[in-house]
Amino acid sequence: MQENFWQLTLVTNKGNTPTAPYLEFIEVCLKAGITCVQLREKSSPGEDLMDFGSSLKRLLDLYNVPLIVNDDIDLCIKLSAFGIHLGQSDTEVTEARSAIGADKIIGLSVSTIEQIQNSVTLPIDYIGVGAIFPTHNKPDVETIWGLSGLRQAYLVSSHPIVAIGGIDESNTFSVINSGADGIAAIGAFHQAADPFLTTKNLIKIISEAKND
């Protein structure tokens, strides 16, 4: 499916926001060029999450942008999502691969070099490395990698790297330059005064960094 879908991922943070205005926000970012959306709503009840996920998937399909579901194999299957993103304590990768099939994408979060080394032989498609910088959205992160740590991760990994954690317009160039293939963000989009302009800028910065 979409090549380099991991280039710019918006991670959802809908919370209690009504679905209609939240989808309008997502659509603004879609029009500006996000390349993937990860559905990550830790506090939403299952039925609400299914309803929101279905609406989100319909919107993303209009723009041919893939949906990745965070840590919920059943929801991934029900939504016919593009793939799933797993944490270290979530469903085992081999079990997830068996459940969703060979044609779906699997991403895996890593927080140590050892976890990256262990991921080399796993049937995954990319790794999520984070947090690169301190972030209010995940205050309990195990590791703050920094740019030097990200560079180390790049040298060890055999999979594409999606970097996450405190990434915004001010540091995206350095993150890509340090070995990330793409970035995922929550705050950069949700806290933006102008989500359209911010998304445009992020896409431009990523492109410039890759061509540097």
pLDDT in tens, 157-192: 999 999 999 999 999 999 999 999 999 999 999 999
User: Which of 78, 97, 138, 151 is flagged as catalytic?
Assistant: 138
Q: Say if residue 96 is preceded by a cis peptide, omega within 30 of 0.
A: no
> Is beta strand 36-39 parallel, antiparallel or unpaired with respect to 8-11?
parallel
User: Which of 40, 57, 119, 157 is flagged as catalytic?
Assistant: 40
pLDDT per position as a tens digit, 42-70: 887 778 999 999 999 999 999 999 999 99
**Which band of pLDDT confidence, cut at 50, 70 and 90, is reported for residue 3?**
confident
E-only strand ranges, the chain: 8-11, 36-39, 67-70, 83-86, 105-110, 126-130, 161-164, 182-185
pLDDT at 135 over 90: no
Q: Which two tokens stand for residue 185?
A: 């963000």
The pTM of the full predicted model, rounded to 2 decimals, is: 0.96
Share of the chain above pLDDT 70, in %: 98
Q: Closest Cα partner for 153 from 133, 134, 178?
A: 178
User: Which of 44, 57, 109, 111 is flagged as catalytic?
Assistant: 109
pLDDT value, residue 1: 47
Mean pLDDT, all residues of the chain: 95
Q: Closest Cα partner for 49 from 82, 84, 21, 74?
A: 74
pLDDT value, residue 212: 82
Decide: helix, strand or coil at residue 173. helix
Residue 109 known to be catalytic = yes
For range 89-112, the mean pLDDT: 95
Residue 210 known to be catalytic = no
- Helix (H) or strand (E) segment spanning residue 165: none
The one-letter code for the residue type at 88 is: Q
- 210 compared with 141, residue with greater pLDDT: 210
For range 131-142, the mean pLDDT: 80
The one-letter code for the residue type at 135 is: T
pLDDT value, residue 139: 63
Contacts 24+ apart (CB under 8 A), 188-191: 189/10, 189/29, 189/34, 190/13, 190/25
Radius of gyration for the alpha carbons in the chain, expressed in angstroms and rounded: 16
